[in-house]
Amino acid sequence: MTLGYYAVAAIILVASLFFVGELRTLEARVVLGQRATDLFDTVLEIRRFERNFFLHRQVADLQENARQINLARDSMTANRADFLAIAPKARLDDLQTLLNDYQRQMSAFATLESDGGKLALMEPRVRTLGKEVVAIAQDMASSERRQIQATLASFRTLLLGAIFCMALLIVAIGRVLSQRVVRPLKEMEVSVAAISANRRETLSAPSDDREILSIIAAFNHMLKELDIRQKSLMRSERLVSLGTMLSGVAHELNNPLSNISTSCQILQEEVEESDHATQKIYLQQIDQQTERARNIVRSLLDFSREKEFRKETVLLRPLVQQTVGFVRGEVSAKSVVQLDIPEDLVVAADAQRLQQVFVNLIRNALEGLGADGRIVIAAQRMHPDGPPGGTALGSGCEADGEVVEISIADNGPGIAPEILPRIFDPFFTTKDVGHGMGLGLFVVYEIVDEHGGCIAVESTPGQGATFRIRLPQAETEET
Ligand code: ADP
């Protein structure tokens, strides 16, 4: 491209210099033409005063005639080199000789002024000489005019040729640009759209042009960096969620531990008196509670481990129940969390990520609840006939196949309409420093989008907020 640019610049420069040269030639010709015309005008003046003299016999006319002859002779001597370009040397010499002859004849009149007879005798000869002088001067002037016209005509042809070549060059450059720049850019635009829609991960080179290749390399590098940063954001958000869940886990672990402790105490006290069957019941209870505690710890470990995205069939209700248990630990015992999820409802999703979605949404809902706060988590299978109401985001908002729709509704303070479009932006928070990073809903959106789903929010300030998630179920049978 750079080479092409320099080539075009060089062509334009050379063409411009050429035309400037041509214009100078034309200018020189016009000056020359002007000199030839001036000479012709002087010769006409000579003849005019000659005629006047013959008519009125005035000495003044004779003197003016002589002055004009001198002017013509001076002009011929001064511009001889120039006139040689218009007329051949012999013709110029002829003119010079004729003019000398004419001058001689005319000066003879001065001396013969009173001799009318002689004057009348010489008059025709002088007139003939004058005519010849006029003819040569006229010939020179018109020959120069013709030459100027010819130069102008060739200049016009050259200019038209140059315009035509430039037009061809512009068309050729346009084609090359469209082939090497516009087409690859269009392909890049399509690829970037595919990357935004999560259909591909990197840009492939649509041309072998060096500039395009380096743009692609820089873009892919940026995508890689973005991916690394996004993963690190997700990791830090998971750590925040783990913090939230830890207090809930401690709370949840308390129940099986105190059950185990109670069973152990009873066993210790009654070990002598009780029969084997009773002892077995207590031991079974201890075993069950140990298993329960182990499950709680395992699910926390599962949540904390970084795993590849993998969809599986997840039984929804226990997952939500467990998450609510983990998140509730720190919340007022007065708020009610109501589940309206069928026991057997399964969803095709990555369990760990789905749990992260619930942790973030339930935590947000719980945080704003007042004394008689209430959260309703409901889920159902459905065939949507349009995107969910409110502000909806995600690649699956227009999907029309079977989906599982999960809604999380609270009766907290709600979200002001002016911030509603921004709540899914990374780092957007209305909480005080140290209380929220503004990543919770961003991560929720990312995960829902990764599932090809859709998330929407509706809220009336003062009356709570409802988040709706739709997860496509096309792959349920295969998983
Ligand atoms: P953070 O919780 O760290 O502020 P989020 O991305 O989870 O970040 O939430 C962004 C903002 O959205 C919150 O600061 C809050 O203003 C608003 N928000 C989210 N969920 C709710 C909700 N259930 N009720 C009211 N406001 C909410």
Class of domain 220-306: mainly alpha
User: Measured between alpha carbons, how far is 86 from 138 in angstroms, rounded to an integer?
Assistant: 12
**Ligand 1 centroid – CA 156 distance (Å):** 75
Question: Which of 5-9, 62-66, 381-385 shows the lowest per-residue confidence on average (mean pLDDT)?
Answer: 5-9
pLDDT, one tens digit per residue, over 318-343 is: 999 989 888 876 555 667 899 999 99
User: Measured between alpha carbons, how far is 363 from 348 in angstroms, rounded to an integer?
Assistant: 23
Residue 114 — pLDDT band, cuts 50, 70, 90? low
**Ligand 1 centroid – CA 384 distance (Å):** 27
User: Measured between alpha carbons, how far is 99 from 68 in angstroms, rounded to an integer?
Assistant: 11
| Residue bearing the CA closest to ligand 1, atom 19 | 364
Q: Which two tokens stand for residue 427?
A: 């780092």
What is the predicted pLDDT for the residue at 306?
78
Q: Which atom of ligand 1 is nearest to the CA of 438?
A: 8
256 CB under 6 A from ligand 1? no
Which range of 37-51, 74-88, 378-392 scores highest in mean pLDDT? It is 37-51
409 CB under 6 A from ligand 1? no
What backbone torsions phi and psi does residue 388 show, to the nearest 5 degrees? -65, 155
422 CB under 6 A from ligand 1? no
Task: Note whether 107 and 62 are within 8 A (CB).
Answer: no
Residue 112 — pLDDT band, cuts 50, 70, 90? low
**Ligand 1 centroid – CA 362 distance (Å):** 11
| Residue bearing the CA closest to ligand 1, atom 25 | 414
Could you give the percent of the chain with pLDDT greater than 70?
A: 96
423 CB under 6 A from ligand 1? yes
| Long-range contacts formed by 166-174: CB under 8 A, 24+ apart | 166/12, 166/15, 169/8, 169/11, 173/4, 173/8
Could you give the percent of the chain with pLDDT greater than 90?
A: 39
397 CB under 6 A from ligand 1? no
Q: Where are the domains of the chain?
A: 2-175, 220-306, 310-479
What is the predicted pLDDT for the residue at 477?
44
Query: Would strands 312-315 and 454-459 be described as parallel, antiparallel, or unpaired?
Result: unpaired
| Residue bearing the CA closest to ligand 1, atom 16 | 430
pLDDT, one tens digit per residue, over 9-49 is: 898 899 899 999 989 988 988 998 999 999 999 999 999 99
The predicted model gives 360-371 an average pLDDT of 87
Q: Which two tokens stand for residue 358?
A: 């619930």
Q: Is the dihedral of CA 99, 104, 108, 111 positive or negative?
A: positive
**Ligand 1 centroid – CA 24 distance (Å):** 77
Which residues, including other chains, have CB under 8 Å from residue 283's CB and lie 6 or more apart? 263, 267
For 101, counting Cβ atoms within 10 Å of its Cβ (0-12 exposed, 13-18 middle, 19+ buried), the class is middle
| Long-range contacts formed by 72-78: CB under 8 A, 24+ apart | 72/39, 72/42, 72/43, 72/46, 72/99, 72/137, 73/99, 73/100, 73/103, 75/35, 75/38, 75/39, 75/42, 76/39
Q: Which residues pair with 472 in a beta bridge?
A: 403
Q: Does the pLDDT at position 393 exceed 70?
A: yes
| Topology of domain 2-175, CATH | Four Helix Bundle (Hemerythrin (Met), subunit A) (1.20.120)
Residue 432 — pLDDT band, cuts 50, 70, 90? confident
Q: Which atom of ligand 1 is nearest to the CA of 437?
A: 3
Residue 474 — pLDDT band, cuts 50, 70, 90? low
pLDDT, one tens digit per residue, over 275-298 is: 888 889 999 999 999 998 998 888
What is the predicted pLDDT for the residue at 276?
86
pLDDT, one tens digit per residue, over 184-230 is: 888 888 888 888 776 777 888 777 878 888 888 999 999 899 888 88
Q: Which two tokens stand for residue 273?
A: 């008196």
Q: Does the pLDDT at position 51 exceed 60?
A: yes
463 CB under 6 A from ligand 1? no
Q: Which two tokens stand for residue 364?
A: 């947000």
**Ligand 1 centroid – CA 426 distance (Å):** 11
Which range of 1-10, 131-140, 237-246 scores highest in mean pLDDT? It is 131-140
Q: Which atom of ligand 1 is nearest to the CA of 410?
A: 23
The predicted model gives 336-365 an average pLDDT of 92
Domain 310-479 in CATH 3.30.565.10? The answer is yes
Residue 410 — pLDDT band, cuts 50, 70, 90? very high
Q: What is the mean pLDDT of the chain?
A: 87
Q: pTM score > 0.85 for this model?
A: no
Of 199, 197, 178, 191, nearest to 220 (Cα)? 191
What is the predicted pLDDT for the residue at 253?
87
User: Measured between alpha carbons, how far is 187 from 209 in angstroms, rounded to an integer?
Assistant: 14
**Ligand 1 centroid – CA 459 distance (Å):** 12
| Residue bearing the CA closest to ligand 1, atom 11 | 429
354 CB under 6 A from ligand 1? no
Provide the b/e sequence for 393-404 (b: ≥16 CB within 10 Å).
bbbbbebeeebb
359 CB under 6 A from ligand 1? no
Residue 479 — pLDDT band, cuts 50, 70, 90? very low
What is the predicted pLDDT for the residue at 476?
46
Radius of gyration of the chain (CA): 53
